[in-house]
């Protein structure tokens, strides 16, 4: 089998919940990211794309069931370009890249575009269908924005706690202080702001038509641990998790072009990085924040390297506490992690975040001239995903 390579990555700016991208449909966000990443490869004939694999966590409204296919059509690609949509919740677009890389490696396609989208602002309320006609009682509309909904009563209660409560339990288990969480969160904002000011994201982020948003909306320059220390706990009285040390609700899309080495001529560009290893891991649902630990460890083993070889890590910051738990378990130098900011500042539009961390990792490896990097993400209901990239210019 051959190898799969990253050729280009792009994303929209990430908007805050009910913010600058609130009026933009998720299928239009997806089409924007798709057009944006292909614009970086003008030599690639879109008809050469063997498949589009798109991630989306909600899919209950304008995502339109198969938002990947909708993005292909709305982006103006040939109708002959196929597309599918995958759902591994927060890991959906990283899962899309995993699937796309396998497709390339197997020879089923030479070029695959992967990505993901989420509009958490526009996620609809849903009503369960009645079991019989004309029920007399009230029916509750359930938000599809985030977390459990319409829970099966057979599920054990300890599995179905809120995402915040699950991470408070993680905090208790590993003794990660509020002070460490706030310091980690403040660092995310400082580094993300610096990355934008340095121009790091200028080539990666594509504008959204009709939206006056030029950079990620959630970044708060000047954030300090002292400022964050003044926020109240969000999930437990006396708890440690606040709105400041957890990722917000967001809207956005990301995209990555994967291809074989032989496809470079048709793509019209040299590859950036090689997909060297990947893995999925699962734990008890309430332990989802810790699931990236073994996923990354397995991906590194499959790549034939260890943590001492890793020069950059992009870990999606769903919560500061789960990020710190993962870093502690890996015993990795925190200074190589999320050097250009993380999801606490940039945002976490569920289906788009995996593509963001993968694309960012490829560019960070090139910027820092490091050979090996890990992209990892935790996933609600007890899962984690990780991908190892090799910087081909440093090999």
Is 348 assigned a catalytic role? Answer: yes
Give the integer Cα–Cα distance in Å for 227 and 244. 9
Per-residue pLDDT of the chain (395 residues; tens, 9 = 90+): 799 999 999 999 999 999 999 999 999 999 999 999 999 999 999 999 999 999 999 998 999 889 999 999 999 999 999 999 999 999 999 999 999 999 999 999 999 999 999 999 999 999 988 888 888 889 899 999 999 999 999 999 999 999 999 999 999 999 999 999 999 999 999 999 999 999 999 999 999 999 999 999 999 999 999 999 999 999 999 999 999 999 999 999 999 999 999 999 999 999 999 999 999 999 999 999 999 999 999 999 999 999 999 999 999 999 999 999 999 999 999 999 999 999 999 999 999 999 999 999 999 999 999 999 999 999 999 999 999 999 998 65
Write down the pLDDT at residue 61. 92
Q: What is the DSSP string of 190-226?
A: HHHHHHHHHTTTTTTB---TT----S-TT--TT--HH
Give the integer Cα–Cα distance in Å for 182 and 166. 18
Residue 252: name the closest of 382, 375, 379, 359 by CA: 359
Q: Hey, is 119 helix, strand or coil?
A: strand
Candidate list 189, 281, 326, 378, residue with the active-site label: 378
Whether pTM exceeds 0.85: yes
Residues 6+ away with beta carbon under 8 Å from 298: 277, 279, 281, 386
Which regions of 75-121 does DSSP assign to beta strands (E)? Answer: 83-86, 111-119
Report whether 73 contacts 108 (CB < 8 A). Answer: no
Write down the pLDDT at residue 349. 98
Candidate list 90, 189, 281, 326, residue with the active-site label: 90
Candidate list 189, 281, 348, 363, residue with the active-site label: 348
Report whether 309 contacts 330 (CB < 8 A). Answer: no
Write down the pLDDT at residue 394. 64
Give the integer Cα–Cα distance in Å for 67 and 122. 14
Cα four-point dihedral sign 45, 51, 56, 62:
positive
Report whether 374 contacts 362 (CB < 8 A). Answer: no
Give the integer Cα–Cα distance in Å for 33 and 29. 6
């Amino acid at each position: 089998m051959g190898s799969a390579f990253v050729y280009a990555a792009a994303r929209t700016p990430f908007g805050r919940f009910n913010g600058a991208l609130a009026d933009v449909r998720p299928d239009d966000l997806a089409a924007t990211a798709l057009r944006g990443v292909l614009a970086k490869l003008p030599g690639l004939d879109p008809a050469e794309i063997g498949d589009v694999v798109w991630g989306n966590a909600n899919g209950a409204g304008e995502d339109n069931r198969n938002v990947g296919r909708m993005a292909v059509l709305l982006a103006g690609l040939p109708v002959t370009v196929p597309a599918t949509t995958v759902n591994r919740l927060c890991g959906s677009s990283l899962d899309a890249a995993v699937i796309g890389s396998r497709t390339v490696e197997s020879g089923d396609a030479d070029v695959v575009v992967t990505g993901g989208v989420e509009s958490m602002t526009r996620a609809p309320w849903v009503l369960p269908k009645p079991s019989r006609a004309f029920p007399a009682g009230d029916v509750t509309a359930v938000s599809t924005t985030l977390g459990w909904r319409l829970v099966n009563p057979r599920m054990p209660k300890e599995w179905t706690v809120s995402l915040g409560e699950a991470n408070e339990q993680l905090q208790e288990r590993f003794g990660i202080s509020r002070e460490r969480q706030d310091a980690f969160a403040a660092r995310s904002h400082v580094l993300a702001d610096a990355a934008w000011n340095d121009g790091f994201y200028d080539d990666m982020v594509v504008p959204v038509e009709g939206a006056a948003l030029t950079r990620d909306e959630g970044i708060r320059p000047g954030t300090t641990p002292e400022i964050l220390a003044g926020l109240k706990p969000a999930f437990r009285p006396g708890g440690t998790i606040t709105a400041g040390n957890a990722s917000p609700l967001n809207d956005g899309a990301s995209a990555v072009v994967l291809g074989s080495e032989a496809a470079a001529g048709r793509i019209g560009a040299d590859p950036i990085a090689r997909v060297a290893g990947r893995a999925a891991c699962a734990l008890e649902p309430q332990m989802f924040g810790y699931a990236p630990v073994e996923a990354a460890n397995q991906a590194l083993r499959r790549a034939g390297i260890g943590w001492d070889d890793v020069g950059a890590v992009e870990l999606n910051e769903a919560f500061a506490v789960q990020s710190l738990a993962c870093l502690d378990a890996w015993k990795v130098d925190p200074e190589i992690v999320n050097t250009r900011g993380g999801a606490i500042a940039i945002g976490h539009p569920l289906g788009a975040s995996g593509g963001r961390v993968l694309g960012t990792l490829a560019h960070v490896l090139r910027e820092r001239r490091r050979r090996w990097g890990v992209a990892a993400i935790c996933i609600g209901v007890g899962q984690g995903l990780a991908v190892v990239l090799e910087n081909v210019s440093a090999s």
